[in-house]
């Protein structure tokens, strides 16, 4: 794998308002709601989103239709790019994304360990927009009308022929309501969506004196990035080992055992961080005292100097608007040949919000996005989608600043069960190594380049 890093426009994650492009949203949204693609192209010229030559080139041949994508994360941005590429620019694509910047959750645990800073994981959308003629709206979705095929936003509405919902995750604070406010998250950050909370949690760790206790929780599966919490424990322990060796990490896991790379993480906990990581399974958090930084389980109350509670999760808010999260009121049921929702016609769901029985990872999100993109291009071209999609998923975890481990699988569509199943092949690391860490760095650079250029 190539280790070259693309040149991205770096943005300030702590000052998103300074990164907003000055767009005339009113004219842009109005242009997208017009029936004629030629009129839409005129709107693109007026708002400066496309130069007149590119916009008129698109207007010269009618497109196959218009796809709107809610969410500009790994899944949504990948789908946008590949729909444009595979339709030969004959499908217009608009992404609605509240944030003006892309902050990578993969590798963000290294910010807590101190070997990365958040700016190294923060990128603009400029290149993927420019290279593929994707239209971007920085706005918040407030409603979806599947009959009229319109997405309603705070500042207008957009019509679609097909809609992709890629909203990532939302946190379930029903059982821990006192963690729902931003004020509470300043004191007890979850840092499970990379950004300001990641920076905040790192600062809390830096402020600790030696001999302090870091307490973190892991929700019951499924949740975003199965190995992520165990990697986080390793990263904090690595930082403590180097700078605050008398400090401890207590892991309160709601699951009965380590649910990803169990043998490897168990070995790392017991050998690399012996007497530093205290792993406690079957420890579901039932109450949190934010002010005093204590976490209560069914069996004990644990005091912390820094407390990191990762709440249980469900499909993102855009999926909830249509009640697409019909599996346990959490995740969305889809057709795995097209990722079309089983609840709403012409609406597709990809990424972490999908109920699939597969890991909720960035690599998985981009794999689903390509299958969905291919299917949409086929359907809008009056063709049949691929009847037997195949994709892979690889997940790396850093156990310190120099060594990593991985797990990899190939998945194939099972026509009888109508789901994606793990195929023969794949595998897991024998042990942590610096070579694996170099592969992990190359993986990150490659996926960022693929998604964002």
What pLDDT score was predicted for residue 52? 40
Is pLDDT larger for residue 378 or for residue 32?
378
Q: Do domains 16-170+314-387 and 175-311 have the same CATH topology?
A: yes
What pLDDT score was predicted for residue 56? 44
pLDDT digits (tens, 9 = 90+) for 323-367: 999 999 999 999 999 999 999 999 999 999 999 999 999 999 999
pLDDT at 6 over 80: no
Residues 6+ positions from 195 with CB-CB distance below 8 Å = 13, 103, 118
Query: What CA–CA distance (Å, rounded) separates 89 from 318?
Result: 26
The CATH number of domain 175-311, selected from 3.40.50.300, 3.50.50.60, 3.30.465.10, 1.20.1250.20 = 3.50.50.60
What is the average pLDDT across 161-169? 98
The CB density around residue 153, as the number of other CB atoms within 10 Å, is 20
pLDDT at 21 over 50: no
Helices (H), 326-428: 362-380
pLDDT digits (tens, 9 = 90+) for 407-431: 999 999 999 999 999 988 778 999 9
pLDDT digits (tens, 9 = 90+) for 112-144: 999 999 999 999 999 999 999 999 999 999 999
**In the chain, where are the structural domains located?**
16-170+314-387, 175-311
CB neighbour class for 415 (10 Å; exposed up to 12, middle 13-18, buried from 19): exposed
What pLDDT score was predicted for residue 3? 35
What pLDDT score was predicted for residue 424? 83
What pLDDT score was predicted for residue 31? 37
Query: What CA–CA distance (Å, rounded) separates 396 from 403?
Result: 10
What pLDDT score was predicted for residue 425? 75
pLDDT digits (tens, 9 = 90+) for 393-403: 999 999 999 99
Structural contact between residues 214 and 305, judged by C-beta atoms closer than 8 angstroms: yes
Residues 6+ positions from 383 with CB-CB distance below 8 Å = none
* Ordered DSSP codes for 212-247: -EEEEEEPSSS-S-TTHHHHHHHHHHHHHHHH-TT-
315: nearest Cα among 359, 350, 365, 362: 350
pLDDT at 233 over 50: yes
Helix (H, G, I), strand (E, B) or coil at 356: coil
What pLDDT score was predicted for residue 426? 77
pLDDT digits (tens, 9 = 90+) for 40-68: 333 333 333 333 444 444 444 448 999 99
Query: What mean pLDDT value characterizes the chain?
Result: 89
290: nearest Cα among 207, 181, 171, 170: 181
| Predicted confidence band of residue 291 (pLDDT cuts 50, 70, 90) | very high
241: nearest Cα among 120, 114, 84, 100: 114
pTM score of the predicted model:
0.87
Query: What CA–CA distance (Å, rounded) separates 244 from 202?
Result: 14
**Backbone dihedral angles phi then psi of residue 398, each to the nearest 5 degrees:** -85, 130
What is the average pLDDT across 164-192? 97
Q: Which range (1-10, 95-104, 162-171) has the least confidence?
A: 1-10
Can you give the length of the chain in residues?
Answer: 453
The CB density around residue 358, as the number of other CB atoms within 10 Å, is 21
Query: What CA–CA distance (Å, rounded) separates 136 from 69?
Result: 10
What pLDDT score was predicted for residue 247? 98
Query: What CA–CA distance (Å, rounded) separates 162 from 67?
Result: 5
DSSP code at position 118: G
Is pLDDT larger for residue 322 or for residue 20?
322
What is the average pLDDT across 272-281? 97
- Give the class (CATH, top level) of 16-170+314-387: alpha beta
């Amino acid at each position: 794998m190539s280790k070259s890093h693309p040149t991205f426009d770096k943005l300030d994650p702590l000052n998103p308002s300074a990164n907003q492009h000055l767009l005339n949203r009113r004219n842009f949204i109005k242009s997208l709601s017009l029936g004629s693609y030629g009129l839409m192209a005129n709107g693109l010229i007026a708002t400066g989103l496309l130069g007149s030559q590119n916009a008129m080139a698109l207007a010269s041949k009618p497109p196959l239709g218009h796809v709107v994508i809610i969410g500009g994360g790994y899944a949504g941005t990948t789908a946008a790019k590949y729909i444009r590429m595979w339709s030969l620019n004959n499908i217009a694509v608009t992404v609605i994304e509240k944030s003006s910047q892309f902050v990578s959750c993969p590798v963000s645990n290294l910010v807590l360990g101190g070997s990365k800073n958040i700016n190294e994981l923060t990128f603009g959308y400029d290149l993927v927009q420019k290279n593929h003629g994707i239209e971007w709206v920085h706005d918040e979705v407030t409603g979806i009308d599947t009959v009229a095929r319109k997405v309603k936003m705070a500042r207008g509405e957009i019509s679609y022929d097909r809609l992709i919902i890629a909203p990532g995750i939302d946190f379930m604070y029903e059982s821990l309501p006192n963690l729902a406010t931003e004020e509470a998250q300043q004191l007890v950050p979850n840092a499970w969506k990379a950004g300001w909370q990641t920076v905040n949690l790192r600062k809390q760790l830096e402020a600790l004196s030696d001999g302090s206790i870091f307490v973190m929780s892991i929700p019951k599966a499924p949740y975003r990035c199965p190995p992520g919490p165990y990697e986080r424990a390793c990263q904090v322990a690595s930082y403590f080992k180097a700078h605050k060796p008398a400090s401890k990490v207590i892991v309160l896991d709601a699951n009965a055992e380590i649910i990803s790379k169990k043998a490897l993480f168990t070995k790392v906990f017991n050998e690399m961080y012996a007497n530093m990581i205290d792993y406690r399974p079957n420890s579901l958090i039932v109450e949190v005292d934010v002010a005093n930084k204590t976490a209560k389980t069914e069996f004990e109350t644990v005091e912390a100097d820094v407390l990191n509670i990762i709440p249980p999760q469900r499909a993102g808010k855009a999926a909830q608007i249509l009640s697409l999260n019909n599996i346990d009121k959490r995740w969305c049921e889809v057709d795995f040949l097209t990722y079309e929702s089983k609840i709403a016609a012409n609406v597709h769901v990809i990424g972490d919000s999908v109920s699939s029985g597969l890991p909720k990872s960035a690599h998985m999100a981009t794999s689903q996005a390509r299958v969905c993109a291919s299917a949409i291009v086929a359907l809008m071209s009056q063709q049949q989608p691929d009847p037997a999609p195949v994709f892979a998923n690889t997940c790396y975890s850093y156990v310190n600043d120099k060594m990593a481990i991985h797990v990899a699988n190939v998945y194939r569509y099972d026509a009888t069960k109508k789901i994606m199943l793990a195929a023969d092949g794949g595998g897991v690391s024998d042990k942590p190594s610096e070579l694996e860490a170099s592969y992990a760095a190359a993986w990150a650079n490659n996926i960022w380049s693929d998604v964002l250029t």
